[in-house]
Amino acid sequence: WGNRYLVFKDTVPDGEFFDWDFFMASQGLILLEGRVRTINEADIVKSIIEKVFRTKLDRNVIYESEYTKTFLNDENFKHIHFTPEFKRLYVQLSEALKYKEPVLLCGQTGCGKTTACQLYASQMKSRLIVYNCHANTESSDFVGNVRPSRDSGKNRFPWHDGPLVQAMITGSMFLLDEISLADDAVLERINSILEPGRTITLTERDGQEIIAQDSFRVVATMNPGGDYGKKELSTALKNRFTEIYCHNTTNVKYIVAIIEKSISHALLRTKLVQPLIKVMSGFLSSYYQDQDIISLRDILSWISFINETTSLGRHSTLSIQDAIINGACLVFFDQFGTCGHKALHLHASENWKTELLEKLTKLVEDKLGTNPVYQDKLTSGFQKDDEYVKIGRFSLRKGPNPIPKEKEFVFDSPTVQANTEKLVRAMQLDRPVLLEGDPGAGKTSIVAALARLTGHKLVRINLSDQTDISDLFGSDLPDPFYTDDEEPRFCWHDGPMLKAIRDSSWILLDEMNLASQSVLEGLNACFDHRGEIYIPELDKTIVVDRNTTRIFACQNPYNQGSARKGLPQSFINRFTSIYVASHSDEDLLIILSQLYPNLPRDLIVKMINFNGAISDAYKPQGYEFNLRDLIYWCDL
């Protein structure tokens, strides 16, 4: 607070009148209000400052500053609606960085932390360097280290500057994402950078001291503690930052404005946005108490689905009416049954779902004059042309591999059709898809079947608590083709996930909730809007082509044990989640009858009845008997 006065007073000409009381009071409000996490606490801070400085403060004046006027005209961010919460965040961030203060942005996922940093870097015409922290982060990952050389020069293990040192030397903006996931002992290494001197000594390079360029800025982000794998930053480290808490937008008026900014249909924008939000929030609130019913991210996914499936350039196009209903099913219904929506699943039934669909259908019919069509399972089979495979009402782009003529997967059973409809609907968006369901429900096989039907190669990667991020992306290994025994040479070997991304293959990450927290957080940038992977050993960023590479994750519910754990909400929000329902006896009969036509139907029925009886008897002991066991039995 005092440092801001010392820096700013040199910019005021001598002898010119300046209202220092208002300046100090407004800077105190910007600085101290950012630390508190509720509106009531912010009002208390404001009243105390006004009392001490004997001046009135107007937040509208303070947060409608020159910063907000400049970014409103930024062409790169025309797609963003700037809410009062975001303007407040951006002014607080800009003021802190103006005085070269290290900033810590704390807030729930989706509140605009990363976007604010991207906007500031764009305004300052500065490069933004991002490093994602995780539980296994070491100081050498962002400071630098000695790595094997891939050249035939004399120095086999040269020094490579890390992203933090690169940012200091080039005067770039450095973003430490999810800083609270890293160990405090690792973060202590950057203490000297957080001090006014902004220097770091590289003991690995004979004590070389790096002094940051004047334009260098450092920002860290984190989610509040309380979610799976999340924790608060230590007080000692937090005090070195200017902390800013980022609030989510909850005012319906601004949510409507964001939607109107995002939606591409003028008819929907003028007639349906407010009624849709009112119906959905009002109806869902009767089934939740004291929980967030509709997040802004859910609403934007709904709008993205409508924009994608009704655009004129698509191979299969839905009407606006049908897109509204199917988008609501994707965002709000298809994930019912997952552990993340367990509370809602307990109260929701097919009758409840039908009731809400009827309300939405009536609303659409009243506003647009036509009745939308909703289908909960495949009805029109599979159709192929030169570029697309049409599955039900939706299309998927064909891959480079030949499509088998014989059907290798049974899509005829009701539950499989419903699960397939959910998955294909989710794939209309370019986000990763998370499939959750009981063992044997067909999560992996349905993805593999769609990959074969569309001519894509599927790379399946089984995760466990022993999986390391290098197992997915790759590492430096000795070159097997280099024969000079005296001077061994190293070369980079792509891991299975990185190779699949380069090859534009589909990727299936199985048993996602068995993976360690460090692996999950290492995949963050790959799954979110950035869609990229930074490889520090190569100092290279690999961009994921969302048009050709599709990423799927499968998991069993974490309440089934076996070292499974709940995933952080910030991680789940990067996916489109769907619940894969288990097979009924009718499904089992249809599947087994087609797979084993030589077996008598009566025998298959008896096998299914026996499987159901023994499954019910031993389920309390944790045993599971499903379609896999029946297939093994039939093979015998």
What is the model's pLDDT at position 294?
Answer: 56
What does the DSSP 8-state code read for residue 331?
Answer: I
Is the four-CA dihedral 443, 444, 447, 448 of positive or negative sign?
negative
SS3 string, 538-581, reads CCEEEECCCCCCCEEEEECCHHHCCCCCCCCHHHHCCCEEEECC
Q: What is the mean pLDDT of residues 592-616?
A: 88
Q: Kindly state the helix (H) or strand (E) to which residue 296 belongs, with its residue range.
A: helix 296-309
Alpha carbon distance 182, 180 (integer Å) = 6
What is the model's pLDDT at position 295?
Answer: 63
pLDDT per residue as tens digits for the range 405-447:
766 667 788 888 889 999 999 999 889 999 998 888 889 999 9
What is the model's pLDDT at position 534?
Answer: 79
Q: What is the share, in percent, of the chain residues with pLDDT greater than 90?
A: 19
pLDDT per residue as tens digits for the range 284-321:
555 554 444 456 677 778 888 888 888 755 666 688 88
Whether the pLDDT of residue 402 is over 80: the answer is: yes
Q: Which of 334, 324, 326, 320 lies closest to 276 in space, CA to CA?
A: 324
What does the DSSP 8-state code read for residue 227?
Answer: B
In the predicted model, what is the mean pLDDT of the chain?
Answer: 81
What is the model's pLDDT at position 372?
Answer: 65
Q: How many CA atoms lie within 13 A of 268 on its CB side?
A: 23
What is the model's pLDDT at position 171?
Answer: 94
Whether the pLDDT of residue 399 is over 60: the answer is: yes
| Amino acid, single-letter form, for residue 419 | N
Strand partners, 539: none
Least confident of 47-61, 240-254, 363-377, 578-592: 363-377
Grade residue 343 by pLDDT with cuts at 50, 70 and 90: very low
Most confident by average pLDDT, 43-47, 223-227, 488-492: 43-47
CA 425 to each of CA 114, 359, 419: distance values in angstroms, whole numbers, following the listed order: 29, 21, 10
What is the model's pLDDT at position 38?
Answer: 85
Q: What is the share, in percent, of the chain residues with pLDDT greater than 70?
A: 82
Contact 109, 529 (CB under 8 A): no
Whether the pLDDT of residue 17 is over 80: the answer is: no
SS3 string, 500-548, reads HHHCCCEEEEECHHHCCHHHHHHCHHHHCCCCEEEECCCCEEEECCCCC
pLDDT per residue as tens digits for the range 136-186:
778 888 888 887 776 655 667 788 888 899 999 999 999 998 888 888 888
Checking phi first, is residue 290 left (phi over 0); if not, alpha (psi -120 to 50) or beta?
Answer: left
Grade residue 49 by pLDDT with cuts at 50, 70 and 90: very high
Alpha carbon distance 110, 128 (integer Å) = 19
Whether the pLDDT of residue 282 is over 80: the answer is: no
Q: What is the mean pLDDT of residues 601-630?
A: 84
Q: What is the mean pLDDT of residues 339-348?
A: 50
What is the model's pLDDT at position 259?
Answer: 76
Instruction: Please name the residues in contact with 306: beta carbons below 8 A apart, sequence gap of 6 or more.
Output: 263, 265, 268, 320, 323, 324, 327
pTM for the full predicted model:
0.76
**C-alpha 371 chain-centroid distance:** 34
- Quickly list DSSP for 127-168: -EEEEE--TT--HHHHHEEE---SSSSS-SS-EEE-HHHHHH
307-313's contacts with Cβ under 8 Å and 24+ in sequence apart are 307/262, 307/263, 307/264, 307/265, 308/428, 308/429, 309/394, 309/428, 310/265, 311/264
pLDDT per residue as tens digits for the range 249-259:
767 777 777 77
What is the model's pLDDT at position 102?
Answer: 94
pLDDT per residue as tens digits for the range 74-123:
666 666 777 888 888 988 999 999 999 999 999 887 788 888 898 899 88
What is the model's pLDDT at position 346?
Answer: 42
Coil, strand or helix at 394: strand
